Amino acid sequence: MESNYKTALVTGASSGIGAEIVRRLTKDGLQVHALARDLSRLTALQEETGCVIHAMSVDDLEGLTALSEKLPVDVLVNNAGQSRKGDILNTTAEDVDALIDINLKAVLHMTRLFAPGMVERDRGHIVNISSIAGHYAFPGGNTAYHASKAGVHSLSQQMRVHLYGTNVRVTEISPARTETEVFGRLLGNMEEAQRRFFDEYESLKPCDIADSISFVVNAPQRMNVSFMEILPTKQVLGGLNFAKRTA
């Protein structure tokens, strides 16, 4: 299908879900701007798709501000994110700061910088990639990561209130386990991550998330898919643990 929008900006675009979003939105006919830190991967993606690349971090506020002043975009996809090992009992100050800065604060700044132009043009769509970690508590997840993604969920809800009455739509995409490099970075070994998390499980693929975003972006203007939770067919949420009483 051909999108009613013309331009898109995707953060965290050099690999995984972000790169697939760039490919899919380009296929939909948008001029896609890909933002990430890895210039070599961005260059390869540019050669493949024809996207416009911006090699910077989402915590580069000065760079993002300059970009927003010269780049009107119809679709903003806040995809960039990090994860870290550990929970609140053994995490570090650096881990907490990094997760909040990249996963939440950057989303706030990107929205603050680009949403006013959408409102002025009365045209736009903001897509925030959160996580099931922002909605459910489960063992093994970093506490600050869960908190940062919960913040993205709350932000998405509040944005719809503030954009009420305009033609700017807001969608939150909340994926469960997706086969990306993030697990390899956590373990420091992608082969180990592949064996531990994916070889024996049928997980989501980055293209599944990109296809979902294409669907919501290309939906009729009268329709806003406000929230989409995407799970592998054989992954379930919930469960109750009860610790035994000890002497």
Active-site positions read 145
Give the distance from CA 134 to its chain's centroid: 12
Phi (first) and psi of residue 85, to 5 degrees: -80, 160
- Round the CA-based radius of gyration of the chain to a whole number and report it: 18
CA–centroid distance for 195 within its chain: 25
Integer angstrom CA distances of residue 22 from 27, 181, 205, 223: 8, 17, 15, 23
Backbone angles phi, psi at 31, to 5 degrees: -85, 115
Angle between helices 93-100 and 143-162 (to 10 degrees): 20
CA atoms of 227 and 62, how far apart (whole Å): 31
- DSSP letter at 222? T
Helix/strand/coil (H/E/C) assignment for every residue in 58-93: CCCHHHHHHHHHHCCCCEEEECCCCCCCCCCCCCCH
Output DSSP code: residue 139. T
DSSP 201: S
